[in-house]
């Protein structure tokens, strides 16, 4: 079944904690196995794996970019960076939660380096567009990197600095420590595997990103 992107009124202004939509204790349940590779999508994950959260616009196409990469154990789409506990897709699309659409990537650092994942991130979208990606506009489409380890923060900041030197417009990507990750509804998970001809609005700048090292 095809699911259409919601065409709702999009907010270009982030809410604050006081006026964000109130959350709920009801969590969204997802399939415990990845639809593409069969690996677990629900933690806890083996401690040898690292987790990083990427926001680069519509999470349907973004997730596919990462699950194809060798060394990526699992991917999940969801909502992060906002205020509402256990938000729904409709709530996030309203702009009232403060969350970005994101992909949580569980990867084996012995096989794939974060610098390679950052290359995918920078090259797959336009990180200079603020609260939008192409025709997708609203706070949920902002560019974001949410780290779970200090070395990820250092490398993410370094890669931003390097990439900024290569493109003319100012990068608006937010980089901050990861807060709660809330799963998106199950039909969003690995969506473009389930619906191969589904919507993907990702477009990069055409500028390659070099690998950076700590």
Q: Residues with catalytic annotation?
A: 58
Whether residue 77 contacts residue 186, with contact meaning beta carbons closer than 8 Å, is answered with no
DSSP secondary structure letters along 89-141? HHHHHTT-S-PEEEEEEEE-TTTS-HHHHHHHHHHHS-TTSSSEETTEESGGG
From the CB of residue 86, how many other CB atoms can be counted at a distance below 10 Å?
16
Whether residue 130 contacts residue 65, with contact meaning beta carbons closer than 8 Å, is answered with no
């Amino acid at each position: 079944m095809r699911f259409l992107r919601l065409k709702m009124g999009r907010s270009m202004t982030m809410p604050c904690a006081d006026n964000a939509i109130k959350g709920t204790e009801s969590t969204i349940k997802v399939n415990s196995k990845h639809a593409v590779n069969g690996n677990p999508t629900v933690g806890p994950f083996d401690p040898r794996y690292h987790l990083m959260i990427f926001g680069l616009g519509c999470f349907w196409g973004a997730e596919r970019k990462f699950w194809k990469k060798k060394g990526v154990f699992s991917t999940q789409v969801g909502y992060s960076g906002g205020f509402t506990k256990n938000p729904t897709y409709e709530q996030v699309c309203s702009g009232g939660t403060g969350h970005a659409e994101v992909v949580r990537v569980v990867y084996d650092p012995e096989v794939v380096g974060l610098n390679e994942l950052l290359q995918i991130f920078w090259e797959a979208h336009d990180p200079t567009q603020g609260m939008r990606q192409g025709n997708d506009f609203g706070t949920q489409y902002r560019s974001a990197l949410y780290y779970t380890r200090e070395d990820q923060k250092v490398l993410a900041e370094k890669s931003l600095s390097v990439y900024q030197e290569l493109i003319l417009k100012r990068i608006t990507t937010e980089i901050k420590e990861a807060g709660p990750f809330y799963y998106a509804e199950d039909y969003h998970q690995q969506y473009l595997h389930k619906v191969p001809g589904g919507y993907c609005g990702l477009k990069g700048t055409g500028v390659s990103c070099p690998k950076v090292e700590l």
